[in-house]
Amino acid sequence: MVDYIGTARLRELISRVGSGRFIEELSGEIEADYRRWDDFEKSPRHAIHSSGGVIELMPTSDGRLYSFKYVNGHPKNTAKHLLTVTAFGLLADVGTGYPLLLSEMTFVTALRTAAISALAARRMARPATRVMALIGNGAQSEFQAIAFHRLVGVRNLRLYDTDPQATSKLMRNLESLQLPGLEVTRCASTADAVRGADVVTTATADKRNAIILTPQMIEPGMHLNAVGGDCPGKTELHPEILRAQDVRIVVEFEPQARIEGEIQQLGAVDELGAVRTVTELADVVRGRLPGRANDREVTLFDSVGFALNDFSSLRYLRRLNAEQPDGGQCIDLIPELDDPKDLFAGLSPEHAQERAKLRRRRFA
């Protein structure tokens, strides 16, 4: 039997611990795994692109556990009353190859994206960060707001979206959360929202090379949390922001970010033949490189999502699920056989009846 967490079970877990605490604990799990970065097998995710979106597989392993996530990104889905992003993931034992957990990851992807954003910001944003502009008020926005309020100290949230209904939705949800001390302001434009902000988070959905932020909007000391650009041909920042020598760029995994992140806009070398260097988050977490040099430096976290974030999430979910009094749910994804060399016998009705009796006795 394999542990199973569906959307209903995840709602139960979140309601028991609270979304803020969940994101905070998950951020700690992710941080712990980035500290042992060298233990993991790493590769860019495998992507199949179409005119409407992308379907991706994201695998990794630390030699003891293996995980993968299936995730799609289809920005036009909302016109059909479908989600832009859906996902599920699996955690397995490397020693036997047996799956340990099958879990929904549509909600979890949003939660872990917020967790990694806050983790990076705590090392890259200025210590006195209080004001965040949130550009793009769709499915990811509430999670980002919760994470930055709880983990970074944001108390003034400035909102803008080209769709006013998205901003109204976000404001309603934030009001229901009653986050202590949080002031929320609806802004008339991106430029209005980012003016005076300590952190600017861009989380838009369109699959195109958009220009959400321009160099003129960037102020000294800002931290840019770019989470919307996450596949080839999908970016949010003007390329001159990336080329500026006074901007420190941090990514999760450079080979993947070069394909899918904001830095896909940078060539291997610039017009002078120089390579625009970037820093991997693991080096910042492990203290090998700084997240920022001073309070006037502009920092950019170019986040596209990486398999290690999902590995940490699945491991955390499995432990959290097991800690609950009811123990959670299992599914019969893998055959249970008396003779592992006799797979055919497992299809017989008699075998199924015997296994059902054993399960009833086990849980009686």
**Separation between Cα atoms, residue 324 and residue 349, nearest integer Å:** 34
Residue 274 has a pLDDT of 63
Helices of type H across 136-204: 141-147, 164-177, 190-194
Interval 307-337: pLDDT, tens: 999 999 999 999 999 999 887 899 999 998 8
pLDDT of res. 234: 79
The helix-helix angle for 7-17 and 19-35 (nearest 10°) equals 100
- For the chain (364 residues), the mean pLDDT of every run of 10, in chain order, is 96 96 98 98 94 93 98 91 95 98 97 98 97 96 98 98 97 96 98 98 79 95 90 85 92 94 79 75 98 97 96 97 89 90 89 68 56
What are φ and ψ of residue 111, in 5° steps?
Answer: -65, -45
What is d(CA 162, CA 165) in angstroms, rounded to the nearest whole number?
9
230 is catalytic: yes
**Which residue reads 């996450």 in tokens?**
230
Q: How far apart are CA 348 and CA 176, in angstroms?
A: 53
Say what the pLDDT of residue 233 is. Answer: 78
* pLDDT number for residue 338: 86
* pLDDT number for residue 210: 81
Catalytic residue among 3, 161, 230, 302: 230
How many C-beta atoms lie closer than 10 Å to residue 136's C-beta?
Answer: 28
Question: What is the rounded distance in angstroms from the CA atom of residue 28 to the CA atom of residue 313?
Answer: 10
pLDDT of residue 24: 98
Cα-flanking dihedrals φ and ψ of residue 300, to 5°? -135, 120
